[in-house]
Amino acid sequence: MKLVGLLVAIALVVLGGLMLRDRDFLPVLAPSRAPLDGEIERIVVEKSARRLTVFREGEAVRRHRIALGFAPEGDKAREGDGKTPEGLFRIDRRNPGSAFHLSLGIDYPRPEDVARARAGGYSPGGDIFIHGQPNRLKGIVTIPYDWTAGCIAVSDATMEELWRIAPTGTLVEIRP
């Protein structure tokens, strides 16, 4: 049992070292650019690239690394599938008291998602957010792998910037 604990500790140290080398995941510890001000018009999430791009006046102004649901391949079909939905959405709510260092809700499920799920006799799921890291990590590390239940996770510093610049109504396009 002690060997298992030791192996877990070593794995965490190695992952921590990998995260420290990734400047996109730790902008709080290694700021590399000035913060954005003003509102943006669009967020594009490319699931396969694990990338979130922020657009203003049609121009990409910032790119961030992301983590997705624990089973990210394909479109979200039902509650509990671990997939991040694909399509066009809007930010429809803001949660300053999130368990994941702020969160911006997207308007999933859409009416067609609800209809499909109703026809299949299951729940489409919901509560899909762009959010920061678990509050218990308090900005110390950013989880570098797909771990959410279907949300889009970013570093806490990235989430703080998105919180400032992405108003309710911002278009969010989630691509495969």
What pLDDT band is residue 32 in, cutting at 50, 70 and 90?
low
Pair 56, 41: CB distance under 8 Å: yes
Question: Edge-to-edge strand order for the sheet containing 42-46?
Answer: 59-65, 51-56, 42-46, 171-175, 87-95, 103-106, 129-131, 152-153
**What is the CATH classification number for the domain harbouring 104?**
2.40.440.10
Half-sphere exposure of 8 (CA within 13 A, CB side): 5
**How many structural domains does the chain have?**
1
Say which of 52, 54, 67, 151 is annotated catalytic. Answer: 151
- pLDDT computed for residue 174 by the predictor: 98
Per-residue confidence band for 17, with pLDDT thresholds at 50, 70 and 90 = very low
pLDDT at residue 8 in the model: 37
Residue owning tokens 């396969």: 48
Catalytic residue flag (residue 131)? yes
Catalytic residue among 64, 65, 83, 131: 131
- In this model, does residue 167 exceed pLDDT 80? yes
pLDDT for res 33? 75
Contacts of 10 (CB under 8 A, 6+ apart): none
Neighbours of 3 (CB within 10 A): 7
Which of the pair, 3 or 129, is modelled with greater confidence?
Answer: 129
5-9, 69-73, 75-79, 117-121: which range is least confident on average? Answer: 5-9
Contact, 107 vs 89, CB < 8 A? yes
Q: Which of 14-23, 89-98, 133-142 has the weakest average pLDDT?
A: 14-23
Q: Cβ–Cβ contacts within 10 Å for residue 33, how many?
A: 8
C-alpha–C-alpha distance, residues 124 and 112, integer Å: 10
Non-local CB neighbours of 39 within 8 Å, separated by 6+ positions: 56, 165, 166, 167, 170
Q: Which domain holds residue 38?
A: 2-175
pLDDT digits (tens, 9 = 90+) for 87-117: 999 999 999 999 999 999 999 999 999 999 9
Quick one: average pLDDT of 131-158? Answer: 93
Residue 25, token pair as written in the block: 């995941």
Residues 6+ apart with CB under 8 A from 58: 41
* Per-residue pLDDT band at 4 (split at 50, 70, 90): very low
- Compute the average pLDDT of residues 23-43: 67
